[in-house]
Structures are given as structure tokens and as C-alpha cells.
Amino acid sequence: MQTSVVVFTCDLRLSDHPPLRAALHGGGRVVPLFVRDPAVDAAGFAAPNRLAFLADCLRDLDAQLRERGGRLVLREGDTVTEACRVAAEADADEVHMSSDVSAFAHHRERRLRLALEAEGRRLYVHDTVSTVVVPGAVTPASSDHFAVFTPYYRRWSAQGLRDAFDAPSALTVPTEVGSAPLPERAAVSGVSPGLCAGGESEGRRRLTAWLRSGLAAYEERHDDLAGDATSRLSPHLHFGTVSPVEVVHRARRAGGAGAEAFVRQIAWRDFHRQVLAARPDATARDYRTRADRWRSGKDAEADAEAWREGRTGYPIVDAAMRQLRHEGWMHNRGRLLAASFLAKTLYVDWRLGARHFLDLLVDGDVANNQLNWQWVAGTGTDTRPNRVLSPVAQGKRYDPDGAYVRRWVAELADVKAADVHEPWKRPARERASTGYPEPVVALAEGLERFRRARGRA
């Protein structure tokens, strides 16, 4: 009987899982394997919130497999060594996994292929597990990737989608292959108190609820900070507990303007992946240099620290930064405002901000995080690289009655709506009594500094 190994990475689900489907095709045995690899931690990809979410995902995956007569095999160590070892223990002919775009993933895939081939086994790498459209499948005439979203989206939308596959109903895992104990969320320290739950069961529940009651109003409400009217599927898409292909199929079936706007956001995810696939160094280097000489030294560090702590004196930025710390997640409009404030108003290197986001975000993802940071900093794919978002104007627009600020900034909980985005306008005595900080920099000063730095003064 044929035996295959399926190496799970950022695809922690049984539904719509092409590698698992291929492994089960001949009706043989399969070893569902996840390797906890210290190299992932060393590369800076691990963070308490993501480790806690991962623990939920692995436990749920194991439970789902057990319901079907199988179980998850967990190993710790180098992915290549462990996958080869498990393949040898199970006497497997084939190993299946999904493709990924980072330099780290490419290197891992190459090493695994060579190591398996040396032992007479084959590696099969499957596309459209973590993306809807394969990175590089659509390209402009003159380049290996799209650098502008709108033309990419046009081509992306015209691509035919494969069907979404059901989860297998049963599988057989060889008994001779042992597993390390599964991690527990409670054993991870430093986790945000409001972190959401992980796992495919939770991801599917959230997706179904979202399609039923959130999607239709997405277009009008997605920027309403206090309304919290986005899908919150990002951690599930990051860990692959929901399938992006299935999400797009189901959203399109639901139809309407909300579905269209939502699917467009999923295309942004693929857009960043195709940029990263073509330019793997964009995780750390400017995609388009603007010859920035970012501020450094004590003052810049103090400003960056105030930003990390949510104490810049700009309520909408501070609310967003405090949401990040409390939940390990932040609303997209908050991410835009917080990132613009650091990289442009404070003129601090986007890499510092991206690092802090990666340390806390449960959906923290090198493609989406680094390339969105670059987009906001004006070193990426934004066609208007020098625009600066005003936290006051944006606060008034996207949090008009201040409910989002009051939710996250306790010092301003009793401030009336008219003052909530400009608390410095209140009388001095009132300001002193709340303990909320004065602005780290005047907006006009920050703007002038940025324009000078970019040669636009």
C-alpha cells in the first residue's frame, strides 16, 4: 500500500487542501506532519500571539484528523531532517506540501527536495493552497511581477478558479510513526489578553458567520473603526485555517457590492505575495528607494517608544497601538494611520515599525506586513508615495463620535466627541487631570520635516 507524508505549514486545515487530497488520491496511508522548526523562530517569524494561535490550530487539526480515524504527527527540529526521518519511518514514497513565497520557504523546499531525492523519494509542491492565484501566473508584458495593484487586480479577477475540495471523510495513519506532545496555548507566555481563538473549526465558523451577517455591508462599513465591521479572517488566512480559494468562491456566490469589495482585499493579499516572490529582499530592503535618511538617536528612539506604547498624544494612533497590544490584531485603518504616523510624521524607519507589528500581530506575515509597511512609508508600491495621513482629520472621518478612541484610551473615556481627536484643545487643568500625554510632535512640524527629507519642501 502506498504511503505519503503531508507536511503542513501555513495551511492548517483539512478542507480544500490540495496536498492532502493528492496524498489520499491512491487510497493509501498518509502521515499528516507538522514540524516545529527552531529556524522559524530564529528567522523572527515566531511571536507569543502567533505561537498561542498555532497551538489552537494544531490541536484542532489533530481533533479533526481523529474524527476521521487519523491523528497529527508533531515533530520538533529541522523541517527537512524531520520530514525525511518520518518518510523513512513510514516507508513513504512521496511527500506533499504547499508552495510558499518567502526566501525562507524557497530554501526549505529546495533542501527538502534534494534530501528526499537522495533517498529515492519524491517531493510534490502544490499551488493555490495559500493564495487564490499562483504568484507569477499573471504578469505584465515588461516585468516578472505587477508593481501596481489596479492592473494586477484586473488580470487576477479574470483568472479561472479551481474548485474548492471537501475535507476527506476518513484516513489511515501508520501506527509506527510517533509524535511529540501537541503544544498548549496556556503554556505560551506574553500572549495578548484579548487574543482570538485559532483552529479550522473556529475559522470556518467565523467565515460562515461573516458571509451571513457582515459581508453585505462591507463596502460601506469596512473603514468604520468603532464598528469593527471587517471579517477578522486575517489570522485564519495567515495560518491557512480557511482556504483563500474557498473564501473567494463563497463570497462571490453571496454576491453584491460588499462581496466585490471584500474579494478585492483578498486580491491585495495575493498582490503582495507576487511582489515578494519576485523580490524576496523586499522584506528588509526598500522596494523603491527614496534615499531616506531616517531619524536615529535618542529623540527618535524616544518617539518610537511613545508610538509602541500608544502614548504619542494623538488619540487615534494611540487607540490603534493599544488595540494591537491588547488583541494582537489591529483594524486596517488603524494600521494605516499608525504606520503613516511612525514612518512619515515621526520619520522613523519603517523597519522598526514593521518589527514591532510582527512581534505582536497574530496575522503577522512577512509578505503582507513588510509590503504594507513599505506601501505606507512610500518605499513600496503606492503610486502616491509622499502622501501623509493626518491622525486628526482621519480620526474625525473614521471615528466621528470618538467611540474607538474611548474604547482603547481610558484617559479619554469621558472626553466629549468634539474634543476626542484634539484633546490638547481642552483647558490645561482638564488636560492635566486625565494624564493623557501632550503630542510628541506638532503635525505641521512633522509634515515639514518629512517633506524636507523627501526633497518636497
| Residues forming the site for ligand FAD (CB under 6 A) | 222, 230-234, 237-238, 265-266, 268-269, 272, 332, 335-336, 339, 357, 361, 363-365, 368-369, 372-373, 376
Nearest distance in Å: CB 418, ligand FAD: 28
Minimum CB distance to ligand FAD smaller for 62 or for 365? 365
Q: Which three cell numbers stand for residue 361?
A: 500581530
Strand residue runs (E) in 94-190 = 94-98, 122-126
**What is the nearest approach in angstroms of ligand FAD to the Cβ of residue 384?**
15
Minimum gap (Å) between residue 171 Cβ and ligand FAD: 29
Of residues 85 and 407, the one with the C-beta less far from ligand FAD: 407
Cell of 50: 502567533
Choice between 251 and 415, CB closer to ligand FAD? 251
What is the sign, positive or negative, of the torsion defined by CA atoms of 308, 309, 314, 317?
positive
CA distance 287 to 380: 5
- Please identify, using beta-carbon distances, which residue of 31 and 57 lies nearer to ligand FAD: 57
Contact 312, 440 (CB under 8 A): yes
- Strand 73-76 with 94-98, pairing: unpaired
State in angstroms the smallest separation of the CB of 76 from ligand FAD. Answer: 25
Q: How far is the CB of 232 from ligand FAD (least distance, A)?
A: 4
**C-alpha 106: how far from chain center:** 19
**Residue 355 or residue 449: which is nearer to ligand FAD going by CB?**
355
Least distance to ligand FAD from the beta carbon of 321, Å?
12
Q: Are 350 and 335 in contact (CB under 8 A)?
A: no
Q: Which is nearer to ligand FAD, 90 or 337 (CB)?
A: 337
Written in H, E and C, the secondary structure of 170-221 is: CCCCCCCCCCCCCCCHHHCCCCCCCCCCCCHHHHHHHHHHHHHHCHHHHHHH
